[in-house]
A and B are shown apart, each in its own frame.
Chain A
Amino acid sequence: MKFYRMHVLVAEDTRSIMAGAKRVEEALVEEIRLAGLEDEIRVVPTGSLGFSDKDQVAIAIYPDNIIYCPVLVSTVPEIVEEHFLKGRIIKALAHPMEQKEVTMEERTSENQMNLDIQKRILLENVGKIDPENIQEYIAADGYVALEKALFSLTPEKVIDEVKKSELRGRGGAGFPTGLKWQFTRPNPGPVKYVICNADEGEPGTFKDREIMEGDPHKMIEGMILAAYAVGGTHGYIYIRGEYALSIQRLQKAIDACYEYGLLGKNILGTDFSFELCIHSGAGAYICGEETALINSIEGKRGEPRKKPPYPPSQGLWQKPTLVNNVETFANIPAIISNGGEWYQSIGVEGSRGTKLFSLMGDINWKGTIEIPFGTSVGDIIDNIGHGVRYDRKLKGVILGGSSGSLLVPEELNTPVDFHSLAHIEAGPGSGSIVVMDETRCIVDICLNIAEFFRHESCGKCTPCREGTAQICHLLEMIASGNGLPEDIDHLEKISQTMMDASFCPLGQTAPSVLRQALKKYRQEFLDHIHNSNCPAGVCNMNFTEEV
């Protein structure tokens, strides 16, 4: 094996590639070759380094522990010349957060600045290994959990460990994962499906993508472990078609698993067999609902099914089926390696382990973060996100996606865990935190969300089909200065009915941000209606100023 004195890791997630990461990688390889360093320095593509939101290319250099960002093709020769040849760190190019060199220690250390409250279990390899190389995953203790399970644990014991970990599903509903597995296992039949829900469709949510692009094997290992535990024979990764890079990397990872005997017949020489393939979705939000997802795989219209029967007893093709989210599966290898008790020691009562969030909006630092449950929303915004950008005032936070909840500044000390959030009618939801500053108009935000749901309602049930369209219409009226006082009552009435009587969670949660907005920002709606005034100056009102 070849020995290199230096490794240059190029972040190549979707956004970095869009920003030019592939070109930077090529330039690095070329310049290193021209400098005659190709036997000393190795360039490795990897997942996101955590700076993906900037639309800039970032590289990490080992063993120097330096991150450069932004890196342009034109700055590559300087980096090679100064740093690689002469050994001088280019301070001006080092990651500009607080204008100082950001080292890898700092990035991962628990006691340092912006990332200090993060804890990386799921993302431990992201930005460190080449996601397209199974050997790098194995070198990072990958598939150790699978080996442990296959050779020293019974399926029941695996389920026990997951139950002991108190892991709750990361798809939004937070159902205890071990319990779901326990329900699935006893259902008889020669065929049982394990499905990974990778249809990450919630606007502003991209945390599953981070795993699939940066460390696809972790999720796959989780799926194989789940299959072993519940008796799964066939697996599908149902992934949204827009995630082209994830699909490509997952496919590479699956192919490598088959080659290494980690998938297919007699995995690692045991009696356990499991087949896995990718099913790409066509971009319907509703297909993130598990029964609609199952319909979609069957080639049917993506619409929710009536429950019961629940998927663990009758799912895909009427066979017992386990459906878990990407993040849920990605938690499994660490739980099996370290034991359920270890996992249970992280986080807080009722919400164990770490949670991924896509942090975005009007904030200084954006990206995918991983925090132990119990961290407060305010902490995340101030310490990881470095506060509201341009020193503006914080207006509110949309937590858990468009179907999630709306938090006002006074609620930001709420710890992020299922129990505490439930007190303020919120939840981690899809895993997104969208920060809004004072320049945002709440009517405009609600209209934006309403338009999304109007488009994504499947149309099966009346409350959701008609309600999403009616809400959209009423908000359009208010935003355009044509609102009437009774519109607020109508919005409240429709929201209540949708929550009460929609067929599936899509319709039940579609009005939840609006409902909270009507409560917490009522005056702003009233200003639009009574004074034709958009306090934030966002809505384009149909009135002319007096001359």
Chain B
Amino acid sequence: MENKTVNIKINGNDYTVDGSLTILKACRQAGISIPTLCYMENICEEGSCGICVVEVAKSHTLQRACITQVYDGMEIQTNTSRVRQARKTILELILANHPQDCLNCAASEICELRKISYDLGIDETPFEPTKDLDLPLDTTSPAIVRDLNKCILCRRCVKECEIVQSVNVIEIAGRGINSKVSCFMDKGLGESYCTNCGQCIKVCPVGALTEKNDVDRVWDYLADPKKHVVVQTAPAVRVALGEEFGMPVGSLVTGKMAAGVRRLGFDGVFDTDFAADLTILEEGTEFIGRLTKVLNGESAHLPLITSCSPGWIKFIEHFFPKCLPNVSSCKSPQQMFGAVTKTYYAQQKNLDPRDVICVSVMPCTAKKYECLRPEMDDAFDHWKDKLMLKDEDHFQDVDVAITTRELGRMMKEVGIDFEHLPEESFDSPLGESTGAAVIFGATGGVMEAALRTVYEVVTGQALPKVELEIVRGMKGIRTADIPMVSADGKEIIAKVAIASGLGNARVLLEEVSNGTSPYHFIEIMACPGGCLNGGGQPISNDPNVCEKRAAALYSQDEAITIRKSHDNPEIKKIYENYFEKPNSHLAHELLHTSYVERDLYELEKEDN
């Protein structure tokens, strides 16, 4: 039934199309574009904005192209004056209640409302505002700023949060002109169970949702001559930053990125990839430890679940707190890097850790929250007694996290001609990394990197093929069986699963929660597709953005000679000189962390 074709007319021309299509899809196939504001395929198909209306013969009213299915004999008109008039009036009505401050808007260049208004030839709205456009910003979240004045109530963020992420922290409240996107009990995003994943920012067609802008804080640190400011750039940044400067999606710009940040004035230009390799050794060791215990009949929490993604961590803390023992105690690479910078690196460089500032560039908004977590100050604790630090000396392991987009803005601000920058490399000692680390940026990458090391440690042999294609791809949930024969001849099949997007994570977590999870090791990334599609990445309308960025990461992996984390010479050195061995006492002090069981609704606490 679903593959039945139907004959339809669009603007007088005959077409034969799949009968399951909507008018919108049928028109797009026919090369006729229909503007939409609220529509996101399979995610937001509410038909709320009304911009996509078309005329259908025998229909009394105009029909929404995005949600109306074609039928045999349907006659569609997409450009009659009635259609144009309706679309224009709808836009004018929206614009009447939308602040006209495009010059000051973070979404200025990518605003879909601005573009559609231009396309439809609207120069000014004839209507006056009908609601208060002076609402205070919601700045309660350390990661995401909400400006409800700019919100056009398209509901894309609501649906993204509900359908893709299964978090449901935002919903429409109020009626009619007073309706707005709201958290539970009208609280701020930062006072609710938001995971800070930032996927809502990526789907917002206007500038109602943006990351918290920390650019000025970075400039202040850079301007302070007393501070030794180092920067770390996450794996996924290098495959997206170019887009901020008009380069094609999937451009790999590692060398230009290093050159660019160096020109911003950082004292050390390092790579989070280094910490990713460190993570593999710590987490791989933890996994082997737990697996061995279970194989020996002892009890240990399996599956082990990765902990790199801070949006995911907050998700499990709120929704599945009982499963927290399954989460790896390893800090994320960002946080490992921060702790290492202010201990090992400061020591090597003979710097006062109080003067070392660690800035991270992340594809992620949740990282802004992560670096503020109170437990993420292990370097301070480490030095506290040794240097007799006082409370006012307190510092975080990572001082400030900015997104890929914010880095792009900093470079534009100082006039860096990004495309024509030379290729430069990272500084030593925290700039060396492997192919295993770079693929952290794609979903399945942590799993693949971990298995490259775990396989060798368990079997004493190298992987037959270093590329583990079986764990790659963009499917939301993937599983694989990895057969291994241990050095003493024992046959082990490691069952692994990978989920990206919190909605998919929830599926795997339900199994863990009710004790039916068959897996030993699970990788979870909060954002669909992994970090390369993080909430802090450049906003792209390319439908294949994930695949293209992933391809760039895998190509970099292939181009690097060292492709396994345990082969990284700087990593070997740090264990020799500092941590001694993975999961050592000092490693636990600096590279591991603990988690918090959180409520969903913290009403009582507010009352007290």
Give chain A nearest CB distance to B128 CB in angstroms: 6
Q: Which residue of A lies closest to B82 (CB)?
A: A500
* A382 interface hit (Cβ, 8 Å): no
* Chain A residues within an 8 Å CB radius of B64: 503
A454 to B48, alpha carbons, bound, how many Å? 17
Give chain B nearest CB distance to A111 CB in angstroms: 42
Give chain B nearest CB distance to A176 CB in angstroms: 17
Report whether A503 and B177 are in contact in the complex, using a CB–CB cutoff of 8 Å: no
A511 to B262, alpha carbons, bound, how many Å? 61
* B174 interface hit (Cβ, 8 Å): yes
* A2 interface hit (Cβ, 8 Å): no
| Interface residues as binary, B127-155 with A (CB distance below 8 Å gives 1, 0 otherwise) | 11011000000000000000000001100
Main secondary structure of the interface of A (DSSP, over half): helix
Report how many residues on chain A are interfacial, defined by Cβ distance under 8 Å.
Answer: 35
For A462, give its contact among B127, B130, B153 (CB under 8 Å): B153
Report whether B175 and A458 are in contact in the complex, using a CB–CB cutoff of 8 Å: yes
For A494, give its contact among B45, B67, B93 (CB under 8 Å): B93
Give chain B nearest CB distance to A121 CB in angstroms: 31
* Chain B residues within an 8 Å CB radius of A458: 175-176, 179
A118 to B368, alpha carbons, bound, how many Å? 73
Given known A-B contacts A494-B89, A497-B89, A459 and B50 have beta carbons under 8 A apart: no
A286-323: which have CB < 8 Å to B?
301, 306, 308
| Interface residues as binary, B35-71 with A (CB distance below 8 Å gives 1, 0 otherwise) | 0000000000111111101000000011010010100
For B130, give its contact among A284, A460, A469 (CB under 8 Å): A469
Report whether A499 and B61 are in contact in the complex, using a CB–CB cutoff of 8 Å: yes
Given known A-B contacts A284-B175, A459-B177, A500-B82, A470 and B47 have beta carbons under 8 A apart: no
* Chain B residues within an 8 Å CB radius of A469: 97, 130-131, 176-177
A239 to B82, alpha carbons, bound, how many Å? 38
Give chain B nearest CB distance to A304 CB in angstroms: 10
| Interface residues as binary, A440-465 with B (CB distance below 8 Å gives 1, 0 otherwise) | 00000000000000111111111111
Report whether A470 and B50 are in contact in the complex, using a CB–CB cutoff of 8 Å: no
Report whether B46 and A467 are in contact in the complex, using a CB–CB cutoff of 8 Å: no
Give chain B nearest CB distance to A151 CB in angstroms: 40
* Chain A residues within an 8 Å CB radius of B67: 306
* B90 interface hit (Cβ, 8 Å): yes
For B176, give its contact among A465, A490, A496 (CB under 8 Å): A465
* Chain A residues within an 8 Å CB radius of B97: 466, 469
* Chain B residues within an 8 Å CB radius of A462: 48-51, 90, 93-94, 152-153
* B415 interface hit (Cβ, 8 Å): no
Given known A-B contacts A490-B127, A494-B93, A503-B48, A465 and B86 have beta carbons under 8 A apart: no
* A493 interface hit (Cβ, 8 Å): yes
For B47, give its contact among A284, A461, A490 (CB under 8 Å): A461
Given known A-B contacts A462-B93, A466-B93, A473-B128, A501 and B177 have beta carbons under 8 A apart: no
Report whether A497 and B175 are in contact in the complex, using a CB–CB cutoff of 8 Å: no
For B50, give its contact among A301, A457, A486, A501 (CB under 8 Å): A501
Report whether B175 and A501 are in contact in the complex, using a CB–CB cutoff of 8 Å: no
* Chain A residues within an 8 Å CB radius of B96: 466, 470
* A165 interface hit (Cβ, 8 Å): no
Give chain A nearest CB distance to B155 CB in angstroms: 8
Report whether B85 and A460 are in contact in the complex, using a CB–CB cutoff of 8 Å: no
Report whether B174 and A461 are in contact in the complex, using a CB–CB cutoff of 8 Å: no
A479-494: which have CB < 8 Å to B?
486, 490, 493-494
* Chain B residues within an 8 Å CB radius of A470: 93, 96, 127, 130
* Chain A residues within an 8 Å CB radius of B152: 462
| Interface residues as binary, B175-215 with A (CB distance below 8 Å gives 1, 0 otherwise) | 11111000000000000000000000000000000000000
Give chain A nearest CB distance to B226 CB in angstroms: 53
Given known A-B contacts A458-B179, A459-B174, A501 and B86 have beta carbons under 8 A apart: yes
Give chain A nearest CB distance to B572 CB in angstroms: 58
Name the interface size band of chain B. 35 or more
* B31 interface hit (Cβ, 8 Å): no
A508 to B97, alpha carbons, bound, how many Å? 21
Given known A-B contacts A469-B131, A494-B89, A497-B86, A306 and B176 have beta carbons under 8 A apart: no
Give chain B nearest CB distance to A124 CB in angstroms: 36
* Chain A residues within an 8 Å CB radius of B93: 462-463, 466-467, 470, 494, 497
* Chain B residues within an 8 Å CB radius of A500: 53, 61-62, 82, 86
* B172 interface hit (Cβ, 8 Å): yes
A181 to B12, alpha carbons, bound, how many Å? 37
* Chain A residues within an 8 Å CB radius of B90: 462-463, 466, 497, 501
A213 to B391, alpha carbons, bound, how many Å? 72
Q: Which residue of A lies closest to B173 (CB)?
A: A301
Report whether A459 and B172 are in contact in the complex, using a CB–CB cutoff of 8 Å: yes
For A502, give its contact among B45, B50, B85, B94 (CB under 8 Å): B50
A167 to B272, alpha carbons, bound, how many Å? 73
Give chain A nearest CB distance to B40 CB in angstroms: 15
* Chain A residues within an 8 Å CB radius of B464: none
* B374 interface hit (Cβ, 8 Å): no
* B126 interface hit (Cβ, 8 Å): yes
* Chain A residues within an 8 Å CB radius of B53: 500-501
Give chain B nearest CB distance to A440 CB in angstroms: 26
A494 to B172, alpha carbons, bound, how many Å? 24
* Chain B residues within an 8 Å CB radius of A284: 175
A306 to B48, alpha carbons, bound, how many Å? 10
* Chain A residues within an 8 Å CB radius of B130: 466, 469-470, 472-473
A464 to B53, alpha carbons, bound, how many Å? 14
Give chain A nearest CB distance to B21 CB in angstroms: 14
For B126, give its contact among A454, A463, A490 (CB under 8 Å): A490
* A468 interface hit (Cβ, 8 Å): yes
Report whether A461 and B126 are in contact in the complex, using a CB–CB cutoff of 8 Å: no
Give chain B nearest CB distance to A306 CB in angstroms: 5
A498-529: which have CB < 8 Å to B?
499-503, 508
Q: Which residue of B lies closest to A453 (CB)?
A: B176
Given known A-B contacts A459-B175, A499-B61, A466 and B94 have beta carbons under 8 A apart: yes
For A501, give its contact among B62, B94, B128, B178 (CB under 8 Å): B62
Report whether B61 and A301 are in contact in the complex, using a CB–CB cutoff of 8 Å: no
Report whether B176 and A455 are in contact in the complex, using a CB–CB cutoff of 8 Å: yes
* Chain B residues within an 8 Å CB radius of A457: 175-177
For B175, give its contact among A456, A467, A472, A499 (CB under 8 Å): A456
A463 to B96, alpha carbons, bound, how many Å? 12
For B179, give its contact among A306, A459, A493, A497 (CB under 8 Å): A459
A493 to B49, alpha carbons, bound, how many Å? 17
Instruction: List 18 interface pairs A-B (beta carbons < 8 Å), by A numbering.
Output: A454-B177, A455-B176, A459-B172, A459-B176, A461-B48, A462-B94, A462-B153, A463-B90, A465-B176, A466-B96, A468-B177, A470-B127, A490-B127, A496-B86, A497-B90, A497-B93, A501-B53, A502-B50
| Residues of B near any A CB (own CB < 8 A) | 45-51, 53, 61-62, 64, 67, 69, 82, 85-86, 89-90, 93-94, 96-97, 126-128, 130-131, 152-153, 171-172, 174-179
Other than the known A454-B176, A466-B93, what 9 A-B pairs have Cβ atoms closer than 8 Å? A454-B177, A455-B175, A459-B153, A459-B177, A462-B50, A493-B89, A500-B62, A501-B90, A503-B48
